[in-house]
Amino acid sequence: MGFDMSAIHLKDLNIFYGDTQVVHDVTLDVAPGESFALVGESGSGKSTILKAIMGLAPDWTGTIEVDGKPRSHGPDRAFSRQCQMVFQDPYGSLHPRKTIDATLAEPLLIHGLKNRDARVVELLGEVGLDARFRFRFPHQLSGGQRQRVAIARALALEPRFLLLDEPTSALDVSIQAEILNLLKRLRKERGLTYLMVTHNLPVVAFMCDRLAVMRHGRIEEIASAEALKTGALATPYARELYRLSNPEETAEEQP
Amino acid sequence: MSLLDIQNLTVTFPTPRGPVNVVDGVSLTLGTERLGIVGESGSGKSMTGRAILGLVRPPGVVKADRMEFEGQELQGLSDRAMRKIRGARISMVMQDPKFSLNPVMTVGRQIEEALRTHESLPRRALKARVAEMLEAVRIHDPERVMGLYPHEVSGGMGQRIMIAMMLIPRPRILIADEPTSALDVSVQGQVLDLIDELVRENGMGMMLVSHDLHLVGRYCDRVMVMNAGQVVETLDAKNLHAAQHPYTKGLLAAVPRMNETRAELPTLDRSQWAST
Amino acid sequence: MSPKTMGLSAWLTDDAPASRAQANLGRAYDIFRRLCRNPLAALGMAILLVLVLCAAFAPWIAPYSPIGQDLPNRLLPPSAAHWMGTDELGRDIFSRVVHGARLTLLIVGLVAVISAPVGLILGAVSGYFGGWADRILMGITDIFLSLPKLILALAFVAALGPGIENAIIAIAITAWPPYARLARAETLTFRNAEFVQAARLAGGSHARVIGLHILPLCTSSTIIRVTLDMAGIILTAAGLGFLGLGAQPPLPEWGAMISRGRAFILDQWWVATMPGFAIIVVSLGFCFLGDGLRDVLDPKSGDKA
């Protein structure tokens, strides 16, 4: 296929939970190597889109293509090596009774990969965790350390696409900075494509190339990060979000 | 005169590795002003608020040289006397309205209940006060909202109801512990503006506990920065950006900005001040 | 960036284990230590330890044969020669009680080994999949739950014929439904947890997710429940023995011994009382240990090392 093929391609995507439709006619394309943000308030359907891509929200119509291949409606093994997800809550995303070692080795075991011991040590190193952490249990780790483990697990199968669901919203700002730096570095080193859900516009300005502003399950606007940084957003809702997320600067502009 | 005067407050929890001071020698005074307490998780900021209200559960131990509210020592008060102060004189808004409201009681009943425990009023007057309070928190159809159950209201509305419930006995001090971190940005501003307005109008003292330096800077007069149970520095909210302590500076710098140009965010080098 | 400060003190070995085995041992040691700090649980453990030792070394501990008859010395009261007296056939009751520990352990162990996994798996499967699987499996569970345990066991023994093996099977068949309920309830709480989703996203099959991610989380509450139920199992077994449907003579099963002693209860009280006493002590031991385990293992009571 052509080189202009998009990494993640959604067309007329409608997603349902039971009888309620939570996402309406979403169409967007994420380019290979791009970092794309889905922004909106709670209930805007942004996380649901990630779940549908991963196969965790099976009830959808329309098109989801990742790397040019249409997605099935459930999780599958081949897809799991291409695309992984990092969850919001570092406390809920690690199995409480498994050591970090077991958590990181699990994807390798499922796919029958060799050299598991070496890989686990390597993964820990890549997310900036000391090898001392290898045989600890999650409750012995801080929130930031757990999120590093979750990122390491997502990288274990060496996927090219990473879906990030509010990866830092449960963390303190200083820890958030560390995790954002880590994600940025990993993307550069590994040429990853990110699709990131967040409600935090400054995080988008730091991490992403483009963003889609969502509201009530629809995309209001797709804009570049440059437009976000300067506040040059087209729709009133996006401008309102911008104003609310940035009270200092907007207040200075209009004294 | 200061509403609250606390000297050398310490909250200690036993751990398998010996007792740990979650709050370690904190002193503060609060007048009719808005004091922000900022810190990261584990800094002891929430525990400070809880200790004032006597809400630290065993095995936690609260000690202070002085803990006076309007000249009255709070330590050693009986549970009964403490209940009179808690809610009526000092009240607290918690993080998530979902967990703070009773799910099987209508909103109206809960607010009435909050008032009735502190004041005895005839039924009609009670209803009127509740309706008036709900209007004060910008709920425009109080009659309808009073009949709703907590699961039928949105997060922002729930938090406004919580505020109504906390302010209806007309307390002197409001302790707001992360009152908006469970809410969307669009609602956050409204809720904080509302708290701010009510606190000013009624000449109350407010303690706003939050992890968000900028938010505290915007809504408070003074900001107290805490780390590892200790006060790192106290400064005027206006001068927040001129903070001296490396910890405060580090926290400020670690927040991404809207017009971000830094390729990497500065992270805290904890070795600079970390004691243990 | 180095990790946040971790207390690198004397606890280093516990805090940063160097191997999988050490991590798991550390956890087991921690549970054991906390159990020992609870006096009742420690007492329960001690009682059960004595039971296990009795069962293991019964031939050496017991001064007489448990089945050897000695008719001239029948129905002797407790004395230095016969600590618990003798029964109507002149057998030493102490020796029989000690040998009975083997039967009790056998019953309890087999019932636990049969019914707990059955209940766990059924419960986890039905909680994980929900929908029709849940309705059918829980329907079956409800039918079993709605029948009184002892009556159901009686019916099974009557159908299978008396004997200790059949008693064990009958008790196991009636014991699993509560575990299925429990496992289902536990499974529901983390069916949608992010770590379960993460395992699915890594390509793990349903069987793998249930077996390696969900079941380990249900086990601690099941272990607690099984331990607490042990007392009931012993009593049911004794009840079946008492009714003559469990262990057959001359096996020294405690319930059957009480049944035999019933005839002399007014004049020779020790014949029925001594095995009854053993039943009470062992049941209490299991209850104490179960309570202690609940305090230690229950994640809701704080799973902090």
| Each residue's pLDDT tens digit, C195-223 | 999 999 998 899 999 999 999 888 888 88
Cβ–Cβ under 8 Å, residues A60 and A26:
no
Q: Which residues lie below 8 Å from residue B141, measured CB to CB, with a gap of 6+?
A: none
Instruction: Spell out a b/e string for C242-281, using b for 16 or more CB atoms within 10 Å of the CB, else e.
Output: beebbbeeebbbbbbbbbbbeeeeeebebbbbbbbebbee
Among the partner-chain residues A177, A178, A229, the one whose CB lies closest to the CB of B258 is: A229
Cβ–Cβ under 8 Å, residues C268 and C77:
yes
What's the gap in Å between the CA of A95 and the closest CA on chain C?
Answer: 6
Sign of the four-CA dihedral A77, A83, A85, A86:
positive
Q: Cβ separation of B276 and C5 shorter than 8 Å?
A: yes
Q: Which residues of B touch C305 (CB under 8 A)?
A: 16
Rounded mean pLDDT, C283-292: 89
C36 pLDDT higher than 60: yes
Cβ–Cβ under 8 Å, residues B16 and B58:
no
Cα distances (Å, whole numbers) of residue B58 to B12, B64, C232 = 10, 16, 36
Q: Which residues of C touch A128 (CB under 8 A)?
A: 1
Rounded mean pLDDT, A214-239: 91
CA-wise closest residue to C167 among C223, C60, C83, C243: C243
Chains that touch A (3 or more CB pairs under 8 A): B, C
Helix or strand (DSSP H, E) at C62: none
Between C39 and A2, whose confidence is greater? C39
- Which residue on chain A is closest to B155 by alpha carbon? A42
Q: Which residues of A touch C193 (CB under 8 A)?
A: 92
Q: Chain B to chain C, count of Cβ pairs less than 8 Å apart?
A: 9
C6 pLDDT higher than 70: no
Residue B186 at interface with chain C, using a CB cutoff of 8 Å: no
Q: Chain A to chain C, count of Cβ pairs less than 8 Å apart?
A: 101
Q: Which residues of C touch B16 (CB under 8 A)?
A: 305
- Which residue on chain B is closest to C305 by alpha carbon? B16
- Which residue on chain A is closest to B156 by alpha carbon? A42
- Which residue on chain C is closest to B15 by alpha carbon? C305
Residue A112 at interface with chain C, using a CB cutoff of 8 Å: no
Q: Taking every pair of C-alpha atoms in chain C, what is the biggest distance, in angstroms?
A: 85
Summarize pLDDT for A64-122 with one digit per residue, the tens.
999 988 998 888 888 999 999 999 888 889 998 888 999 999 999 999 998 899 999 99
C135 pLDDT higher than 50: yes
Among the residue ranges A1-5, B4-8, B119-123, the one predicted with the least confidence is: A1-5
pLDDT of residue B270: 65
What percent of chain A shows pLDDT beyond 90? 60
How many Cβ atoms are within 10 Å of A70's Cβ, its own excluded?
9
Residue C161 at interface with chain A, using a CB cutoff of 8 Å: no
CA separation for the pair A121, A104 (Å, rounded): 9
What is the average pLDDT value for chain C, to the nearest integer?
A: 84
pLDDT of residue C126: 94
CA B194 centroid distance within chain: 14
CA separation for the pair A173, A166 (Å, rounded): 13
Among the partner-chain residues C3, C201, C304, the one whose CB lies closest to the CB of A139 is: C304
pLDDT confidence bin for C7, thresholds 50/70/90: very low
pLDDT of residue C214: 92
Cβ–Cβ under 8 Å, residues B138 and B111:
no
Between C12 and B161, whose confidence is greater? B161
Summarize pLDDT for B116-175 with one digit per residue, the tens.
877 788 888 888 888 888 888 878 888 888 888 888 887 778 888 888 888 888 888 989
pLDDT of residue A14: 94
A163 pLDDT higher than 90: yes
Which residue matches tokens 């911008």?
A242
CA separation for the pair A177, A203 (Å, rounded): 9
Among the partner-chain residues B155, B213, B256, the one whose CB lies closest to the CB of A180 is: B256
Which residue matches tokens 């039943």?
C279
What's the gap in Å between the CA of B268 and the closest CA on chain C?
Answer: 10
What letter represents residue C178's amino acid? Answer: P
Cβ–Cβ under 8 Å, residues A14 and A61:
yes
- Which residue on chain A is closest to C13 by alpha carbon? A132
Q: Which residues of A touch B268 (CB under 8 A)?
A: 174, 177
Query: SS3 for A162?
Result: strand
Q: Cβ separation of B16 and C305 shorter than 8 Å?
A: yes
Among the residue ranges C18-32, C85-99, C262-276, the one predicted with the least confidence is: C18-32
Rounded mean pLDDT, A33-60: 90
Rounded mean pLDDT, B244-249: 87
Among the partner-chain residues A76, A95, A142, the one whose CB lies closest to the CB of C213 is: A95
- Which residue on chain B is closest to A208 by alpha carbon? B260
Residue B270 at interface with chain C, using a CB cutoff of 8 Å: yes
Summarize pLDDT for B181-226 with one digit per residue, the tens.
777 777 788 888 888 888 888 888 999 998 888 888 888 999 999 9
pLDDT of residue B276: 38
Rounded mean pLDDT, A184-193: 93
Listing DSSP states for C75-112 in one string gives TPPS-SSSTT-B-TT--BHHHHHHHHHHHHHHHHHHHH
Residues of A with CB under 8 A from a CB of B: 41-42, 143, 172-178, 180-181, 184, 199-203, 205-206, 228-231, 240-242, 244-249
pLDDT confidence bin for A61, thresholds 50/70/90: very high
Q: Cβ separation of B274 and C7 shorter than 8 Å?
A: no
What is the average pLDDT value for chain A, to the nearest integer?
A: 89
Q: Which residues lie below 8 Å from residue A150, measured CB to CB, with a gap of 6+?
A: A86, A87, A90, A93, A94, C198
Q: Cβ separation of C5 and B17 shorter than 8 Å?
A: no
Rounded mean pLDDT, A130-143: 87
pLDDT of residue A157: 92
pTM of the entire predicted model: 0.83
Listing DSSP states for chain B in one string gives --SEEEEEEEEEEEETTEEEEEEEEEEEEE-SSEEEEE--TTSSHHHHHHHHTT-PPTT-EEE-SEEEETTEE-TT--HHHHHHHBTTTEEEE-S-HHHHS-TTS-HHHHHHHHHHTT----HHHHHHHHHHHHHHTT-S-HHHHHT--GGGS-HHHHHHHHHHHHHTT--SEEEEESTTTTS-HHHHHHHHHHHHHHHHHTT-EEEEEES-HHHHHHH-SEEEEEETTEEEEEEEGGGGGG--SHHHHHHHHHS--TT---SS-----GGGT---
CA separation for the pair A56, A50 (Å, rounded): 8
Q: What is the 8-class DSSP label of residue C300?
A: G
Q: A141, A142, A145, A174: best mutation site toward chain B, by most B Cβ within 10 Å?
A: A174
Here the tokens at position B50 are 């809880």
Residue A237 at interface with chain C, using a CB cutoff of 8 Å: no
A201 pLDDT higher than 70: yes
CA separation for the pair B266, B143 (Å, rounded): 51
Locate all alpha helices (DSSP H) within chain A, ordered by sequence.
Answer: 46-54, 77-80, 100-110, 116-126, 143-155, 173-190, 201-207, 225-230, 236-245, 247-253
Q: What is the 8-class DSSP label of residue A19?
A: T
Rounded mean pLDDT, A132-154: 90
ipTM over 0.90: no
Q: Which residues of B touch C7 (CB under 8 A)?
A: 17
Between A34 and B140, whose confidence is greater? A34
Exposed / middle / buried, residue C236 (Cβ in 10 Å: 0-12, 13-18, 19+): buried
Residue B41 at interface with chain C, using a CB cutoff of 8 Å: no
Q: Cβ separation of C11 and B17 shorter than 8 Å?
A: yes
Between C215 and A4, whose confidence is greater? C215
pLDDT of residue C238: 83
Cβ–Cβ under 8 Å, residues A199 and A89:
no
CA A173 centroid distance within chain: 18
Supply φ then ψ for residue C96, to 5 degrees: -65, -40
pLDDT of residue C14: 56
Exposed / middle / buried, residue B143 (Cβ in 10 Å: 0-12, 13-18, 19+): exposed
Locate all alpha helices (DSSP H) within C130-269, ordered by sequence.
Answer: 131-146, 149-160, 164-190, 194-201, 206-208, 215-242, 254-261
Summarize pLDDT for C159-189 with one digit per residue, the tens.
888 888 888 888 898 889 999 999 999 999 8
Q: Cβ separation of C20 and A95 shorter than 8 Å?
A: no
pLDDT confidence bin for C24, thresholds 50/70/90: confident
Among the partner-chain residues C4, C5, C7, the one whose CB lies closest to the CB of B17 is: C7
Among the partner-chain residues A199, A244, A248, the one whose CB lies closest to the CB of B189 is: A244
Rounded mean pLDDT, C86-100: 88
Among the residue ranges A9-13, A51-55, B199-203, C140-144, the one predicted with the least confidence is: B199-203
Q: Cβ separation of A102 and C20 shorter than 8 Å?
A: yes
pLDDT of residue A249: 56
C303 pLDDT higher than 60: no
Summarize pLDDT for B44-55 with one digit per residue, the tens.
888 898 888 888
Q: Which residues lie below 8 Å from residue A97, measured CB to CB, with a gap of 6+?
A: A137, C216, C217
Q: Cβ separation of B267 and C1 shorter than 8 Å?
A: yes
pLDDT of residue C70: 81
